[in-house]
Amino acid sequence: MFLWRVSTVLRLLKSIIACVRLHLEAILQDGILGYIMRRFLRSAMIVFSWFVVPYSRYTNIKVIRRKLPPIRSHLLEIPAVDLAKLIRNRKIKSEEVVEAYIERCRQVNPLINAIVQDRFEEALEEAREIDNVIAMGINSVESMEEHTPLLGIPVTVKESIAVKGMTNQAGRVFKTPQIAKADAPVVEQIKRCGGIILLVSNTPELCLLWETYNNVTGQTKNPYDLKRTPGGSSGGEAALLASGASLLGLTSDIGGSSRLPAMFSGIWGHKPTPYAVSFRGHHPTSDFPKWGDFFTIAPMTRYAKDLPLLLKCMSDPTGPKLTLDKEISANGIRFFFMDNDGPSGMMRPLSRDLHAAINRVASDFNAKRVNIRKMKWSLDISLSAMLTMKNIETIYHKTEEGEQPKTVCKETVKYFFGCSDSILPSVIFGHLQNFMKIIPNSRHKHLASIIEALKTEFKELLGTDGVFLYPTFPNTAHQHYQIYHKLLEPMYMAIFNTLGLPVTNCMIGLDRRNLPMGIQVVANPGQDHLCLAVAREMERRYGGWVRPPSEDSHSHAQSSSKRG
């Protein structure tokens, strides 16, 4: 008994020494300031969870467990590449396609609340005009394919992207509705390629949250489970695409705003190489010279095979040239992977299902496990780079004509007394910017040097024929508002905005709750075609988009269980 007690005490001492050693190493590597910030932020997330989780569960009590209406039109399940070909060859009419999508929008939007404003009548008129032009045979099929590859295809757009004549206030409350006076350049290009704009979709206020709700349109819900979020900030687009109510979507991405909704909704979202797509005509924006290094307008699709088509139509003629027509096999690509952020301990580990799925994908593609130790700085370098940018449009930056500018302290007090028109992230963004100002410049310079070192490491690792597989987020779609105690985890995505690398979220199956799982595929700048080639191969291997649960499938399951 005595020896057993001594052995137990020695094991305990050994564990304590190992723990102390680990923390001392962290202090030596990160510096005292970095260490304190990391511990503080992780502890803050734990404390937030004590309040956020009960609140989330309470608000979900009111949500009725309903399923979406079933998809009945076969037109809704044809990829855009094939649908455009059918329209060009007069096999089907654009009007039929647009009508089918309008009907689907009207079926699902009362449940998912993703549409801010529609232009259904105008879209139908444009579809009829297109059908008439095709019927007249003015242009050859080959000419239409080359010059108007989206001819007759409906497209939906995130409300923060300007569509002429449509609301364009990014979820902000204004006394006078803010209407876009002109199309964003990327919208102009989509129209020039023959696309028909159907509607603008919901986003959190100023796209400042990885969940989609605001005080204008309300909260958007996940089609796979209405008690869960589709993510943000492009949650409206993701919910429509996953519901079968959209086929192609224009979104934006600065910290995973396209990729997280794509993962949570089981579809495909790509963050292009910086400046490959024009970022003009978006709210929020900035005149900061390097804004385009981090922010981009991005394609989102229900089918991976449609990503190259949409990205090609979106690409800025004056930006970097992408080789999207280049045929490449996944067999000719080198694969590398990590399933965590290295030794930082900042981000949560993956859920059991996601860990198994990502490691299965890595095995299927013969990916080599690597340990990029500087990935542990993802949080530090991303916050430093993004929150020190100047003149970003916020609730404190742009106000309505005749109104006094808002102040951080006054707006914070108004928020906690329930008198603010804004949501919490918009209010506290000013505090975060002020906090960054008190951090020594030497710290920011040190973090900037780590960014450059990481860029070099990825450049040498991936070259022009390699991709890096990395988690999109550590769990599948959570219940509404629970992002507030997971605010560190989006750094799995934001790191690639900071590094300026193209990256695609790919759908890799459903977890045990039948919620979509995703993985990021990263390449070097200008190598977007590698990400998209891998996405198409993953769609082939793992099946891609899966219909969300519907009333029919629910009834069928109940009747089957009764028969059993």
pLDDT of residue 28: 44
Closest C-alpha to 151, from 85, 238, 206? 85
Closest C-alpha to 193, from 315, 278, 280, 318? 315
pLDDT of residue 347: 85
- Omega of the bond prior to 548 within 30 degrees of 0, cis? no
Which residue has tokens 């918009």?
A: 426
Catalytic residue among 233, 234, 252, 344: 233
Asked if 368 contacts 362 with a C-beta cutoff of 8 angstroms, the reply is no
Residue 211: strand, helix, or coil: coil
Contacts of 30 (CB under 8 A, 6+ apart): 38
Catalytic residue among 67, 93, 158, 305: 158
Asked if 264 contacts 477 with a C-beta cutoff of 8 angstroms, the reply is yes
Residue 197 DSSP symbol: E
pLDDT of residue 439: 85
Per-residue pLDDT of the chain (564 residues; tens, 9 = 90+): 545 555 654 455 555 444 444 444 444 445 566 667 777 788 889 888 999 999 999 988 877 789 999 999 999 999 999 999 999 999 999 999 999 999 999 999 999 999 999 999 999 999 999 999 999 999 999 999 999 999 999 999 999 999 999 999 999 999 999 999 999 999 999 999 999 999 999 999 999 999 999 999 999 999 999 999 999 999 999 999 999 999 999 999 999 999 999 999 999 999 999 999 999 999 999 999 999 999 999 999 999 999 999 999 999 999 999 999 888 999 999 999 999 987 666 788 999 999 999 999 999 999 999 999 999 999 999 999 999 998 899 999 866 766 778 899 999 999 999 999 999 999 999 988 888 888 889 889 999 999 999 999 999 999 999 999 999 999 999 999 999 999 999 999 999 999 999 999 999 999 999 999 999 999 999 999 999 999 999 999 999 999 999 987 544 433 333 333
> Side chain identity at 177, as an amino acid letter?
P
Ordered DSSP codes for 458-494 = HHHHHTTTEEEEEES-SSS--BTTGGGG-TTTTHHHH
Residue 257 among the catalytic residues: yes
User: Is pTM beyond 0.85 here?
Assistant: yes
For residue 132, give both structure tokens: 């008439």
Closest C-alpha to 516, from 496, 543, 489? 543
pLDDT of residue 150: 98
Distance of alpha carbon 292 from alpha carbon 298, whole angstroms: 12
State which H helix or E strand residue 196 sits in.
strand 196-201
Q: What is the 3-state secondary structure (H, E, C) of 289-304?
A: CCHHHHCEEEEEECCH
Residue 290 among the catalytic residues: no
Which residue has tokens 């045990």?
A: 512
Residue 376 DSSP symbol: G
Annotate 177-206 with b (16+ C-beta within 10 A) or e (fewer).
eeebeebbbbbebbbebbbbbbbbbbbbbb
Catalytic residue among 160, 243, 246, 257: 257
State which H helix or E strand residue 410 sits in.
helix 408-416
Distance of alpha carbon 163 from alpha carbon 180, whole angstroms: 6
- Omega of the bond prior to 233 within 30 degrees of 0, cis? yes
pLDDT of residue 27: 45
Asked if 98 contacts 223 with a C-beta cutoff of 8 angstroms, the reply is no
> Side chain identity at 290, as an amino acid letter?
K
User: Exposed/middle/buried for 518, CB within 10 Å: 0-12, 13-18, 19+?
Assistant: buried
Annotate 146-169 with b (16+ C-beta within 10 A) or e (fewer).
eebbbbbbbbbbbbbbbbbebbbb
Distance of alpha carbon 67 from alpha carbon 225, whole angstroms: 8
pLDDT of residue 556: 41
Residue 252 among the catalytic residues: no
